[in-house]
Structure 1
Amino acid sequence: MNYPQLNLDEENGPLAIIKTNYGDIEIRLFPEQAPMAVENFTKLAEVGYYDQINFHRVIKDFMIQSGDPTDTGAGGESIWNQPFDDEFSDDLYNFRGALSMANAGPNTNGSQFFIVQNKHLADNLIEPMKKSKFASEVIDAYKNNGGTPWLDFRHTVFGQTIKGIDVVDKIADVEVDNNDRPVSEVLINKIEIYK
């Protein structure tokens, strides 16, 4: 197995810098494992689709979600103007700092994405992971770094935070209402793509 998230020094895929009003989050993208998700995200970013969009759903010890220009949590379209298929890879996992597609069920990807923020893997998840198809390196990475393994093979992972995880944590700490919506704006000013 290749686990590019565990060998980021050796990866040279495109970079995305999500510039927020809380600071910058720098993410390495994985076009080899998730070509459609990366193409969709980079092309939307390049035309300014994500500019001035809020993180509309923030759940501390879980994830921060954005990418919906309607700001409702129900909007957003892919570059193909229709949902696109999931791209699951045995190489990519929802480790802390992973960039993943948000969806409304299988093969419903549009423009929404989330960044995994959870710092700690609950001990009661380790045995089921061992019984499932998780490799020991993957389980160790979850134990050491945190993440959301219950989202694996349900949400397409297509990037990994390499700088700015502290910004992800700051956003996760904001005050939210009963719908997990931040009380004050958490805004994406722009997403810059470097290929």
Structure 2
Amino acid sequence: MLRTVRRQRIGLLSLAVHGLLAGSALLHAQEVDPSRAALTDAVRLEVTPLRGLTAPGRPIWLRFALINSSDQAIEIPVDDLSPAADSIGLPMSLVTGAPGKPCLHVGLEQDKLVAVAPAPSPSPRPGSLRLAPRGCVGAEVDLAAIGDVRHPGVYRVEWRPLATRSGPGVATFRIDTRKDVVIITDLGKVTFELMYEQAPRNVENFLDLARGGFYDGKTFHRIVPNFLVQGGDPKGDGKGLRPDGQTVPAEFHDYKVDFGTLAMARKPSEPDSASCQFFIALARLPDLDGQYSVIGRAKDDESLRTLLQIGGVPTDRRDRPLRPVNVRAVTLIEATESSALKSK
């Protein structure tokens, strides 16, 4: 059972607190016996970005979770129980630490991590949090409201509110300006604007592969006139995946699949099986609406002309082009404003 507790506004910090597995955590405003502060190795710390890619100046939501993986209740000392005295949630003193004892550190990957300064409490209330067997308690915090994460780059977060054998909770996220994608082929180039809001995970996956040069030298292995062209497969037979084998959860939305639409290919029976292959629609395809993770659309006439050229390449009975159509490179450029995408 999932119990969601109301959002709370704490100064500049927006905090969403979730009590997971009802009754999993109890807060006690009382003196904490130091002998009870020793924690078992069963406590696990997790930090998860709600989005791995964020534009500068936007909120950066991280989910912090304390998990008891044992069959015994665990008593955790807390420097300050406020402001969650009347609710189930992770106290902020376990997210950022207490003054003089920070437990949350963040920084660009190539730099030294810097402590996020805990906000002082006018009336701290020490106590304890009793984490039930197999229980967990968490919070969602906008890191941009409390940490120095203004500059583009890949950031690393370490969270260590407790000394546990499993080590700190660790996460990474990227801050980057919005990009358009240019697919350069033998027959011309196609420029796409991306749907960051509608399909953030799938857009992030595509950008990650493009930054690493994954798509360079691949082909369009499937061409169906007046239907679609498909590419990005490392095997060239429609069965290839990312080098790490990872797949991306589906992010279906209401954008219509039309001429120039860019979407992630997947197995017909597995919505969450998108990996690296993509397809581009060559016509309005209403039967595909809401069935695939659409991540972008061609944004100019040159792109549409190139797609018509690709779609006209002769193929065999299995829709394989009789001559290779190569993806020479996939490059990223700074995005330009477009109202057409937002209005759909």
Q: Tell me if both proteins adopt one fold, taking TM over 0.5 as the criterion.
A: yes
Which residue among 202, 217, 221 is the counterpart of 1:56? 221
Q: Which runs of 5+ in 1 are unaligned?
A: 1-11, 119-146
**Alignment match, 1:82:** 246
**Alignment match, 1:42:** 207
CA contact (8 A) 1:13 1:30 kept: no
CA contact (8 A) 2:205 2:248 kept: no
Give CA deviations for 1:62-94 in whole Å, capped at 9, x if unaligned: 00100101111111227x63221110122x221
Identity %: 34
TM-aligned CA deviation for residue 97 of structure 1: 0.6
Give CA deviations for 1:142-184 in whole Å, capped at 9, x if unaligned: xxxxx11111111111100012111001100001011101000
Asked if residue 158 in structure 1 is aligned to residue 322 in structure 2, the reply is no
TM-aligned CA deviation for residue 14 of structure 1: 2.0
Give CA deviations for 1:10-29 in whole Å, capped at 9, x if unaligned: xx942000000000001001
Work out the CA distance in 2 between the residues paired with 1:42 and 1:25: 15
Which residue among 317, 321, 325 is the counterpart of 1:178? 317
Work out the CA distance in 1 between the residues paired with 2:277 and 2:263: 9
After the TM superposition, which parts of structure 1 deviate over 2 Å for at least 4 consecutive aligned residues?
A: none
**Alignment match, 1:114:** 279
Work out the CA distance in 2 between the residues paired with 1:13 and 1:159: 13
Q: Which runs of 5+ in 2 are unaligned?
A: 1-176, 335-344
Q: What letter matches 1:38 in structure 2?
A: V
Q: What letter matches 2:316 in structure 1?
A: D
Q: CA RMSD in A?
A: 1.5
Q: What letter matches 1:180 in structure 2?
A: D
Q: What letter matches 2:288 in structure 1?
A: L
Work out the CA distance in 1 between the residues paired with 2:297 and 2:264: 12
Give CA deviations for 1:28-47 in whole Å, capped at 9, x if unaligned: 01111100111111110111
Work out the CA distance in 1 between the residues paired with 2:287 and 2:272: 17
CA distance 1:82–1:93, shift in 2 (3 Å): same
CA contact (8 A) 1:88 1:156 kept: yes
SS in 1 for 2:299: strand
**How many residues matched?**
154
Work out the CA distance in 1 between the residues paired with 2:213 and 2:234: 11
Calculate the TM-score normalised by the size of structure 2.
Answer: 0.43
TM-aligned CA deviation for residue 117 of structure 1: 0.4
Bigger strand share: 2
Q: What pairs up with 1:83-162 in 2 under 5 angstroms? A: 83-90=247-254, 92-105=255-268, 106-118=271-283, 147-162=284-299
Work out the CA distance in 2 between the residues paired with 1:176 and 1:151: 23
SS in 1 for 2:322: coil
Work out the CA distance in 1 between the residues paired with 2:222 and 2:245: 23
Work out the CA distance in 2 between the residues paired with 1:13 and 1:173: 32
Asked if residue 169 in structure 1 is aligned to residue 308 in structure 2, the reply is yes
The answer to which structure, 1 or 2, has the higher relative contact order (CA under 8 A, 6+ apart) is 1
Give CA deviations for 1:102-156 in whole Å, capped at 9, x if unaligned: 11031111100011002xxxxxxxxxxxxxxxxxxxxxxxxxxxx1111111111
CA contact (8 A) 2:227 2:285 kept: yes
Q: What letter matches 1:173 in structure 2?
A: G
Work out the CA distance in 2 between the residues paired with 1:14 and 1:152: 25
SS in 1 for 2:291: coil
Work out the CA distance in 2 between the residues paired with 1:77 and 1:110: 6
